Amino acid sequence: MGRNGVADWLVQRLTAVVLGVYTLWFVGVLLCTPDMDYAAWRGLFAPLWVKGFSLLALLSVVAHAWVGLWTVSTDYFRPTWLRLVFQLTCALVLGYYLLWGIQILRSA
């Protein structure tokens, strides 16, 4: 399809940075609030900037996973039908997780 891999490399690196920053922030919050209960958890995700940051992290997980799984499938699955079935399954599962995550963030 005319892909040279630079865009995939860049997506992997940018999403890894976003996920690293989100992980550090999240671990920091958990370490600073050891008595986290349901009310505190809901309060943590109430501000719009936390929902936006979490959505960015969720989109980064999906993009990072897609690039990785697409690369694995094109490298290791030689029969075209098997590669397409694998990629379609991955796309459906990642799409479902994305929609589910968005629903969770909307209700928080």
Residue 35 is given by DSSP the state: T
User: Which residue's entry shows tokens 């958890």?
Assistant: 41
Query: Cα–chain-centroid distance for residue 70?
Result: 15
**For the segment 37-57, what is each residue's pLDDT rounded down to a tens digit?**
999 999 999 999 999 999 999
Residue 85 has pLDDT above 80, yes or no: yes
Domain spans of the chain, in order of start:
6-107
pLDDT of residue 44: 93
Cα–Cα distances (Å) from 69 to 23, 25, 26, 64, 108, in that order, read 22, 27, 26, 9, 30
**pLDDT grade, residue 32 (50/70/90)?**
very high
Tell me the per-residue pLDDT of 89-100, one tens digit each, with 9 for 90 and over.
999 999 999 999
- Give the integer Cα–Cα distance in Å for 15 and 18: 5
pTM over 0.85: yes
For residues 74 and 22, the answer to whether their CB atoms sit within 8 Å is no
* Class of CATH domain 6-107: mainly alpha
- The CA-atom distances, in angstroms, between 32 and each of 23, 35, 50, 53 are 14, 9, 16, 19
Q: What is the mean pLDDT of the chain?
A: 94
